[in-house]
Amino acid sequence: TNANVKAKATHKVVNVAHRGASGYAPEHTIQSYKLGDKMGGQYIELDLQMTKDGELIAMHDESVNRTTNGSGQVRNLTLKQIKELDAGSWFNEANPIYAKKSYVGAKVPTLEEIFQTMGSNKNYYIETKSPEIYPGMEKKLLKLVNKYHINKNTLLIQSFSKQSLLKVKRLDPSIKLIQLLEFTEPHKLTQEELDEYKLYAYGIGPNFETLSEKFVKRAVKNGLQVHPWTVNEISDMKRLIKWGVTGMFSNYPARVKFAIQEA
C-alpha cells in the first residue's frame, strides 16, 4: 500500500450543511441548499418557523429582520407577506466577496417547496424552532413528511425542546430524533443524562466549543450519535473527528468533506 495515502476517518461522519452552504449563500434559500449538496453536504439542515396563517417556512430567527429586507415576527406575518420579502440582498451586503446577482430577490422557502424542489430522497435534518410559540408545528411537519414520502431512514428531527421531540415521537415513533444541547462551560455527561436521552433520542447535538473527548466517547459508547454544531474551522473538524463524533453541522460543507478525508 502507498504510505502517502492518508487514512480516511475510520468511522462514519455525516456532513450536515448548516442552513445550506450558508457560508457562501444566503442561509435558508433554495440556492443555499443546492450549493450545500454541491459542496459535499449529505444532509440539509433547516430551521422551521410558522407564519400567521400556519405555513411552515425555513428561517432561523423568530423575526424576519436579520435575513430579509422586511421587519416583524414571523408569527405575525402571512405567507403572502413573507413571500414579498427579499431574503438574499442582506447576504450580498454582509459578504461582498461572495455576493451574487442571483441572490437578489431570493424568496423565503416553505418546507413544502423545499421538499418539492430538493426531492424525497434528500437527507433532511429539520429543527423545530420555538415550538412553544407554534402549537401544532410537529403535526404539520409530519404531515408534509408523509405527503412528500420523505425517506424516514435518513430523516432526522432536531430540537432544543425535549417536549417537541416527544411530541414527534408520539405522532410517529419511527422518526429519529436529535436532542440539541448548549453548554456555556465544559459539561460532564452523567450516566443519568445519557440514560434519559437514550429513552427517546437517536443522538445529541451539542455546541462544539465546550466539548471534550470524554463527553464524545461516553455518548458514542452509549450508542448515541454525536453531531456538534456549528463547526467552521478545519482544525476543529479534525479534532472532533479524532474524538469520534459521528457527524457535524457546518456552514462550509466542503471543509467538512476535506477534514473527513484528511482525519
The answer to the question of residue 124 lying near ligand G3P (CB under 6 A) is no
The answer to the question of residue 51 lying near ligand G3P (CB under 6 A) is no
Considering the candidates 60, 149, 187, 227, report the single residue annotated as catalytic. 60
The answer to the question of residue 27 lying near Ca ion (CB under 5 A) is no
CB 206 within 8 A of CB 184: no
What is the smallest separation between the CB atom of 2 and Ca ion, expressed in angstroms?
40
236's contact among Ca ion, ligand G3P, none, with CB below 5 to 8 A by partner kind, is none
Query: By C-alpha distance, which of 81, 18, 33, 90 is closest to 55?
Result: 81
Residue ranges in 68-107 that form contacts with ligand G3P under rule CB under 6 A: none
Smaller CB separation from ligand G3P, 18 or 34: 18
CB 141 within 8 A of CB 177: no
Please select the residue that binds ligand G3P; options are 20, 35, 44, 47, rule is CB under 6 A: 47
Residue ranges in 145-174 that form contacts with ligand G3P under rule CB under 6 A: 158
Please select the residue that binds Ca ion; options are 27, 127, 138, 236, rule is CB under 5 A: 127
31's contact among ligand G3P, Ca ion, none, with CB below 5 to 8 A by partner kind, is none
The answer to the question of residue 37 lying near ligand G3P (CB under 6 A) is no
What is the smallest separation between the CB atom of 238 and Ca ion, expressed in angstroms?
23
Which grid cell sits at 14? Answer: 455525516
Does residue 60 have an active-site annotation? Answer: yes
Residues serving a catalytic function are: 18, 60
Chain positions contacting Ca ion, by CB under 5 A: 47, 127
